[in-house]
Amino acid sequence: MKQPILTLVSCLFVCSNLIAQTAPLPRIAIAGLGIESSTFSPARTEEPAFHARYGPEVFNAYPFMMPMAPLRKQAMWLPAIVGKSLPGGAVTREAYESLVKKTLDSLRKYAPYDGMYFDIHGAMSVVGLDDPEGDFLQRIRDVIGYKTLISTSMDLHGNVSQRLARNTDLMTCYRMAPHEDAMQTKERAVTNLLERLKSGKGKPAYKAWIPVPILLPGEKTSTRIEPGKSLYAQVAPIADQPGIVDAAIWIGYAWADEPRNHAVVMVTGDDKAKVSQSAEQLAKAFWDVRNQFAFVAPTSTLEACLTNAMKSPTHPYFISDMGDNPTAGGAGDVTWTITQLLARPEFKQANGPALIYASIPDSLFIKKAIAAGVGGKVDGTAGAIVDHRFAPPVRLTGTVESIVHGDRDAEVEAVVKVGSAHVIVTKKRKPYHREADFTRLGLKPREAGLVVVKIGYLEPELYAMQKGWMMALTPGGVDQDLTRLGYKRIQRPMFPLDAATMKTPDLSTRWIPVSGDAK
């Protein structure tokens, strides 16, 4: 059954190429790597974590690039490689160099290009290399040259170095956190690129770049609540003005220690005065509300969160175990919180308050759980293999309630009942963001008293389920108490770290040269 599908896919690829030979469709490459990686975590990210897609497989990453989609027909698309990893520790130099080399080899093969869509997150850390996305794009320019119009889309938690800004022509990022507009943003980046190519307008003449000396965690900057909501609401009307191509505010990424880690505003367009004035307006608006950013939910120590949870008349009560949040870049195997939970007397009895804990990765423990089988007894330690700075591996002695194979991230998941706690152990690190992540393991989070998840702000489905929620300032590679991280290389002064002594910063436009022009 596979053959006809493959034939159809390759036909569509070849057919679009044939059409391109008879019509003046622009030749557009697609490339990019996406990850946010913490330099405060001992974890390392290897190449397989990126689940790289090659050639025509890349189209599957974008619903707006499906074979019948209007955008698909407007260019001769030449996708190289697009890879996206779960957040994690710094990427090894070997993994980075291998993915860059594969990208450059592919780009070389199909050059020249009228355009390129560069799809990145912007918060990749690579061992021994500053500003990887800036390095990556510079090396792409060295291969494809400067005639190509490059449109870059990013996560608003990415970082924009001047080098990255210089080598790209169109630049944008998400306008929502949680990132409900991720695909819309990517589509906008591609649409703007096509528009500039088809109209002959080419590279926008003006790129205003303003560094804003603010570094905040995502859990304080959701666009669902103020001041993030009103701040980001200003972006679209500015971007939609004539003379402006796009406008964007980057919150930046707080868990990497590089000079580029800070907020940035960028506006691109053809009207110099409007571009500059709009960028300065957004930068000032951001600076003016800096003191109003607060955690999106009540936040305290784990102990205080547990006290409130136990007193809560409504359930399920959620606690975000924030310090090791895998979707921010935590190793995911910090055992500090589960160790504290299992030491509490109320969870020691099987008939105690129902607690669900998600999650601890440990492949050896998973082997033991599989050997014991569902309903069997298992006894072993789990976690703290990668990040053991805060607590040793946790002893789990209990009954295996379920074993599920096949998750893309976790690969194998097991639920172990320890006292009144249902502890999820995974073969590999996995975030638990959806109700189905729990129910397919046989768990009933809506009926639980307490659900503790390694997460920051609750993702929409969990948020809709909670009848009480606090965020715990637990330790880990993405500690939300930024003062505990010990930055050495970010630029200072930086809000809020140096709030007491900061003067009003220079928030005037820095003009970034058009790509390829001398500085």
Site for Zn ion, rule CB under 5 A: 155, 157
Q: Is 370 exposed, middle or buried (0-12, 13-18, 19+ CB in 10 A)?
A: middle
By beta carbon distance, the residue nearest Zn ion is: 157
Smallest distance, Å, CB 229 to Zn ion?
Answer: 16
Smallest distance, Å, CB 271 to Zn ion?
Answer: 30
3-state secondary structure of 417: strand
CA 85, 86, 89: angle at the middle one, nearest 5?
Answer: 95
Q: State CA 215 to chain mean position distance.
A: 16
Closer residue to Zn ion (CB): 114 or 187:
187
Reported as type and span, the H/E element at residue 404 is strand 394-407
Closer residue to Zn ion (CB): 329 or 468:
329
Q: Is 419 exposed, middle or buried (0-12, 13-18, 19+ CB in 10 A)?
A: buried
Which amino acid, one-letter code, is at 39?
T
Smallest distance, Å, CB 189 to Zn ion?
Answer: 16
Using only the alpha carbons of the chain, give its radius of gyration.
Answer: 24
Smallest distance, Å, CB 157 to Zn ion?
Answer: 4
Smallest distance, Å, CB 466 to Zn ion?
Answer: 21
Cα–Cα distance, 345 to 365 (Å, whole number): 24
Smallest distance, Å, CB 182 to Zn ion?
Answer: 9
Closer residue to Zn ion (CB): 456 or 468:
456
Give the number of other Cβ atoms within 10 Å of residue 472's Cβ: 22
Reported as type and span, the H/E element at residue 153 is strand 149-154
Closer residue to Zn ion (CB): 155 or 413:
155
Smallest distance, Å, CB 300 to Zn ion?
Answer: 24
Smallest distance, Å, CB 118 to Zn ion?
Answer: 17
Smallest distance, Å, CB 154 to Zn ion?
Answer: 9
Cα–Cα distance, 21 to 12 (Å, whole number): 14
Closer residue to Zn ion (CB): 155 or 333:
155
3-state secondary structure of 13: helix
At residue 286, what are phi and psi to the nearest 5 degrees? -65, -50
- Pairing state of beta strands 263-269 and 206-212? antiparallel
Closer residue to Zn ion (CB): 141 or 175:
175
Closer residue to Zn ion (CB): 47 or 155:
155
Smallest distance, Å, CB 121 to Zn ion?
Answer: 7
Smallest distance, Å, CB 135 to Zn ion?
Answer: 21
Distances (CA, A) of 312 to 83, 307, 338, 343, 472: 43, 9, 20, 20, 16
Closer residue to Zn ion (CB): 329 or 393:
329
Which amino acid, one-letter code, is at 46?
E
Closer residue to Zn ion (CB): 235 or 244:
235
At residue 416, what are phi and psi to the nearest 5 degrees? -120, 130
3-state secondary structure of 256: coil
The β-bridge partners of 84 are 34
Which amino acid, one-letter code, is at 271?
D
- Measured over the CA atoms of residue 224, residue 227, residue 230 and residue 232, the dihedral's sign is negative
Q: What DSSP designation does 129 have? A: B
Closer residue to Zn ion (CB): 445 or 456:
456
Cα–Cα distance, 126 to 93 (Å, whole number): 6
Closer residue to Zn ion (CB): 118 or 250:
250
Closer residue to Zn ion (CB): 16 or 184:
184
Q: Write the CB contacts of 104 (distance below 8 Å, at least 6 apart in sequence).
A: 139, 140, 143
Closer residue to Zn ion (CB): 115 or 431:
431
Buried-exposed string 173-209: b where 16+ CB fall within 10 A, e elsewhere: bbbbbbbebeeebbbbbbebbbebbeeeeebbebbbb
At residue 274, what are phi and psi to the nearest 5 degrees? -65, -40
Smallest distance, Å, CB 179 to Zn ion?
Answer: 6
Smallest distance, Å, CB 337 to Zn ion?
Answer: 23
